[in-house]
Amino acid sequence: MKRTLTAMATAAVLGAVGAGAPVQAQEDPTKACFIYVGPIGDFGWTYQHHQGVLELEEEMGDAVETAYLESVPEGADAERALQRFARSGCDIIFTTSFGYMDATNEVAGRFPDIKFEHATGYKREHPNVATYNSRFYEGRYIQGVIAAATSETGEVGYIASFPIPEVVRGINAFMLGAKSVDPDFKIRVVWANTWFDPGKESDAAKALIDQGVDIITQHTDSTAPMQVAEERGIKAFGQASDMIEFGKETQLTAIVDDWGPYYIERVKAVRDGTWEQVDVWDGLADGHVVMAPYTNMPEDVKEMAADIEEKIRSGELHPFTGPINKQDGSAWLAEGEVASDEELLGMNFYVEGIDNQLPN
């Protein structure tokens, strides 16, 4: 009894892992496997990845078989999960969080016949490892513009997860967007040190609001901060998915991730035998980053936001264009100079204007 229960529980927790033998069609389906950092029901980061997987299944039908593991901790556990997938006949494995970077490369070295795709990282130590990412910072720049144009207190509260380049880049882009409207704009950053903990995220939002911010933005994955903002009658930005249902009077816009097209393209490439190592980093222009409708703001701000979005899409505006100084006042980018992707991917400093200290 107990053993059955444990087995059931483990299966339920770990999600469906390669359910039995594949159905025999004319040809074996390609097996695409996914490792998620959160639960598929987080309605944020992992939820959006899973939506992409559902799109993939719909598009390819019997030609693809998918499996996923959710809530896999970053670190040693990730390596075990990867090995398990690698041995269970996966043809391609997607690892969908920055913290899986080393584990992905480690396991990829041992399984040269399996393709590995790591999201948001930059290490490709073996020919069978590709990386993919979205230029979320483009959306964050637009958010910064909106925040500075609508805030009355001139202060925004930023709930951050971990001090990794992805998050630091987002904070900087937000600040640069805000400074383009209001040079004295202030950002208060709180590090939650978690990607997903609704309670803690809502506490962080409350703390920031008590400190006088009137807009909340987040780089954590749950809808809790949006709800707190709605309750307290201030504005907020959604994260990863359109969170308007949680803040009808509150959400200004949200950065929505759309992974479906990429997953379809890559799994098809494995099937055709045309898969190659790539380093994909697409943004608004390619539809990988989508802005949710601009709501709860004056018409002129809406127009301004739409205008900036268009400029970024057309390539006319790059959020990281000089002159930009680092936090300590030293020069980083000269007038007209645009940051290289390498610099952006390894970003570990704040730009001028942010008061908080970056943990390291």
Partner 1 sequence: MLESVLLTIATAATPLLIAAIGELVAERSGVLNLGVEGMMIMGAVTGFSVSLLSGSAWLGVVAAIVVGAAFALLFGFLTLTLVTNQVATGLALTLFGLGVSGMIGESFVGQPGMRLGVVDIPVLSDLPVVGRLVFGQDPLFYLSLLLTAGVAYFLFGTRAGLMLRAVGDNPASAHAQGISVIGIRYLAVMFGGACAGLAGAYLSLVYTPQWVENMTAGRGWIALALVVFASWRPWRVIAGAYLFGGVTIGQLHAQAIGVAIPSQMLSSLPYVATIVVLVVISQNRRLTMMNTPASLGRPFVPDR
Binding site for partner 1 (CB under 8 A): 1-2, 5-6, 8-13, 38-43, 47, 70-71, 157, 163, 188-194, 196-200, 202-204, 206-208, 210-211, 222-224, 227, 241, 245-246, 355-357, 359-360
Provide the minimum distance between the beta carbon of 221 and partner 1 in the complex, in angstroms, as a whole number: 9
Buried b (16+ CB within 10 A) or exposed e, 133-160: bbbbbbbbbbbbbbbbbbbeebbbbbbb
What is each CA distance from 118 to 154, 263, 282, 307, in whole angstroms?
A: 38, 12, 14, 33
For partner 1, give the closer residue by CB, 84 or 318.
84
For partner 1, give the closer residue by CB, 58 or 210.
210
Provide the minimum distance between the beta carbon of 73 and partner 1 in the complex, in angstroms, as a whole number: 12
Provide the minimum distance between the beta carbon of 168 and partner 1 in the complex, in angstroms, as a whole number: 13
Distance CA 181, CA 338 (A): 20
Distance CA 32, CA 53 (A): 9
Provide the minimum distance between the beta carbon of 209 and partner 1 in the complex, in angstroms, as a whole number: 8
For partner 1, give the closer residue by CB, 207 or 317.
207
For partner 1, give the closer residue by CB, 40 or 264.
40
For residues 68, 73, 77, 82, the Cα torsion angle rounded to the nearest 10 degrees is 30
Provide the minimum distance between the beta carbon of 223 and partner 1 in the complex, in angstroms, as a whole number: 6
3-class secondary-structure state, position 98: helix
Six-digit token string for 10: 């483990």
Edge-to-edge strands of the sheet including 64-69? 64-69, 30-35, 92-95, 115-119, 129-134, 279-282
Nearest to 119 by CA among 191, 46, 219: 46
Distance CA 209, CA 95 (A): 35
β pairing state of 186-191 and 235-240 = unpaired
For partner 1, give the closer residue by CB, 133 or 241.
241
Provide the minimum distance between the beta carbon of 188 and partner 1 in the complex, in angstroms, as a whole number: 5
36: left (phi over 0), alpha (psi -120 to 50) or beta: beta
For partner 1, give the closer residue by CB, 199 or 329.
199
What is each CA distance from 337 to 258, 318, 319, 324, 332, in whole angstroms?
A: 30, 10, 11, 9, 9
For partner 1, give the closer residue by CB, 234 or 267.
234
Distance CA 167, CA 133 (A): 13
Provide the minimum distance between the beta carbon of 222 and partner 1 in the complex, in angstroms, as a whole number: 6
Provide the minimum distance between the beta carbon of 11 and partner 1 in the complex, in angstroms, as a whole number: 7
For partner 1, give the closer residue by CB, 41 or 346.
41
Provide the minimum distance between the beta carbon of 34 and partner 1 in the complex, in angstroms, as a whole number: 16
Distance CA 60, CA 54 (A): 10
For partner 1, give the closer residue by CB, 40 or 339.
40
3-class secondary-structure state, position 73: coil
